[in-house]
């Protein structure tokens, strides 16, 4: 389910979390546009990321969260196998 991103990052207290997240979103959107969409400039009006984000603090559970993020792709693949593909459902309905 590649519709979201997990990151575990350390931000110094003097930086605003929203500024750091905005910077990461902006730079990564430019990178995607240049390397995958083959655009060289003018990204105005396009959006790659959702407007919002979720942030939580990590303390003593850092290793638990790190393992969760590392295992998330495997878990997403496992969950994808449990879903019924939309194509199959659509084809079944056409037969009736």
- pTM greater than 0.85 (yes/no): no
Spatial distance between the Cα atoms of 17 and 48, rounded to a whole number of angstroms: 19
Position 1 scores a pLDDT of 42
Q: Is 68 a catalytic residue?
A: yes
Alpha-carbon distance values, 65 to 24, 50, 60, 73, 93 (Å): 20, 23, 10, 14, 42
Predicted confidence (pLDDT) at residue 75 exceeds the cutoff of 90: no
- What's the DSSP call for residue 84? P
Domain borders along the chain are 17-95
- In percent, the amount of the chain with pLDDT more than 70 equals 77
- Cβ distance 41 to 47 under 8 Å? no
Segment 50-67 shows an average pLDDT of 80
Q: In which band, very low, low, confident or very high, does the pLDDT at 23 lie, cut at 50, 70 and 90?
A: very high
Active-site choice (68, 70, 75, 76): 68
- What would the mean pLDDT of 71-84 be, rounded to a whole number? 76
Rounded CA separation 75/1 (Å): 9
């Amino acid at each position: 389910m590649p519709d979201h991103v997990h990151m575990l990052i350390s931000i110094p207290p003097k930086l605003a979390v929203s500024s750091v997240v905005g910077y990461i979103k902006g730079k990564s959107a430019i990178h995607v546009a240049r390397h995958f969409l083959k655009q060289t400039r003018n990204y105005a009006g396009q959006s790659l990321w959702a407007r919002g984000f979720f942030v939580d603090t990590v303390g003593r559970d850092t290793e638990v969260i790190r393992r969760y993020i590392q295992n998330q792709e495997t878990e997403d693949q496992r969950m994808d196998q449990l879903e019924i593909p939309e194509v199959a459902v659509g084809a079944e309905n056409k037969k009736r």
